[in-house]
């Protein structure tokens, strides 16, 4: 099944709440009515409740309780709340996919997002963008399992979802991989081109024009995969993407010594994946 045929499958293109779509489209606008978006978010009781739980989590270290969406926008800022809206909406899109441990998938994706945010802060880059694109970098896997479950399950037998060679097996099987699918999903959801570019480029960030965020997500995904697969110190050293890290001035010790443990780094964000 080619990429166009995949997206013609109804299950492959999940819907997201209308207000979340408006928030996504705000990425492409120079002028945004934050007040108007805040009112629409407040009117969506399920989404606003989720945002408030996340906003009050220990992850953001706020000094007082955030009681309304308006408070969240005021205290955390529009960019952060926008990231929370998009992230919460994405994790609700796919339900009970055959052969997919969704809790594990989102735990890995959240770890990727959290590490990407930490690396972006260290690099002086946009932390909210790094977090959001880190969270959605592997969402193409879910699209493939939803739109062509039998073919995806066959790939699972060769390389599991968190196998480092998964991308290569998909490429050999279909002529594209989950990064291509995720980039296409981002386009169809009308994310800015930058999202699609990073998702498509993160597996091979040194090919073509260098993209800082693709390199950040590549490293973050490696660290999250290592956490999920419980790599030993030797396995960390053997699999470390040294060349990519070198472009950012990073070493293995950046991840094993300087970076806090992932449980500490992401404390309070587990609410995002339920």
171-221 pLDDT, tens digit per residue, is: 999 999 999 999 999 999 989 999 999 999 999 999 999 999 999 999 999
Question: How far is the first Cα of the chain from the last one, in angstroms, to the nearest whole number?
Answer: 33
- Please determine, for residue 274, whether its predicted confidence score (pLDDT) is greater than 70: no
Tell me which of 231 and 29 has the higher pLDDT.
231
**Domains of the chain with bracketed CATH:** 17-92 (no CATH), 95-273 (1.10.3210.10)
Mean pLDDT, rounded, for 128-148? 95
Mean pLDDT, rounded, for 234-262? 97
Helix/strand/coil for 2 = coil
- Please determine, for residue 90, whether its predicted confidence score (pLDDT) is greater than 90: no
Distance CA 234, CA 240 (A): 10
Distance CA 168, CA 74 (A): 44
* All residues at 6 or more sequence positions from 256 whose CB lies less than 8 Å from its CB, including other chains: 233, 236
Work out the angle between the directed axes of helices 212-228 and 102-123 (0-180°, nearest 10): 140
């Amino acid at each position: 099944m080619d990429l166009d045929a995949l997206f013609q499958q109804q299950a492959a293109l999940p819907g997201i709440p209308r207000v979340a779509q408006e928030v996504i489209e705000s990425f492409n606008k120079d002028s945004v009515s934050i007040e108007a978006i805040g009112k629409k978010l407040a009117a969506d009781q399920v989404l606003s409740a989720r945002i408030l739980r996340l906003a009050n989590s220990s992850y953001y270290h706020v000094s007082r309780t955030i009681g309304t969406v308006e408070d969240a926008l005021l205290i955390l800022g529009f960019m952060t709340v926008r990231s929370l809206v998009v992230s919460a909406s994405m994790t609700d899109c796919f339900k009970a996919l055959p052969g997919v441990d969704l809790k594990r998938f989102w735990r890995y994706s959240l770890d990727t997002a959290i590490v990407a945010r930490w690396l972006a802060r260290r690099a002086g880059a946009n932390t909210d963008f790094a977090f959001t694109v880190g969270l959605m970098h592997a969402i193409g896997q879910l699209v493939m399992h939803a739109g062509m479950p039998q073919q995806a399950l066959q790939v699972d037998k060769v390389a599991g979802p968190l196998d480092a060679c998964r991308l290569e097996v998909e490429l050999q099987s279909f002529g594209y991989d989950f990064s291509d699918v995720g980039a296409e999903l981002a386009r169809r959801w009308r994310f800015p081109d930058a999202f699609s570019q990073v998702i498509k480029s993160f597996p091979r960030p040194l090919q073509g024009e260098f993209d800082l965020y693709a390199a950040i997500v590549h490293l973050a995904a490696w660290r999250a995969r290592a956490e999920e697969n419980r790599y030993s110190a030797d396995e960390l050293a053997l699999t470390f993407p040294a060349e990519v890290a070198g472009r950012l001035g990073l070493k293995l010790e950046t991840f094993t010594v300087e970076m806090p443990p992932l449980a500490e780094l992401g404390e309070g964000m587990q609410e995002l994946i339920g």
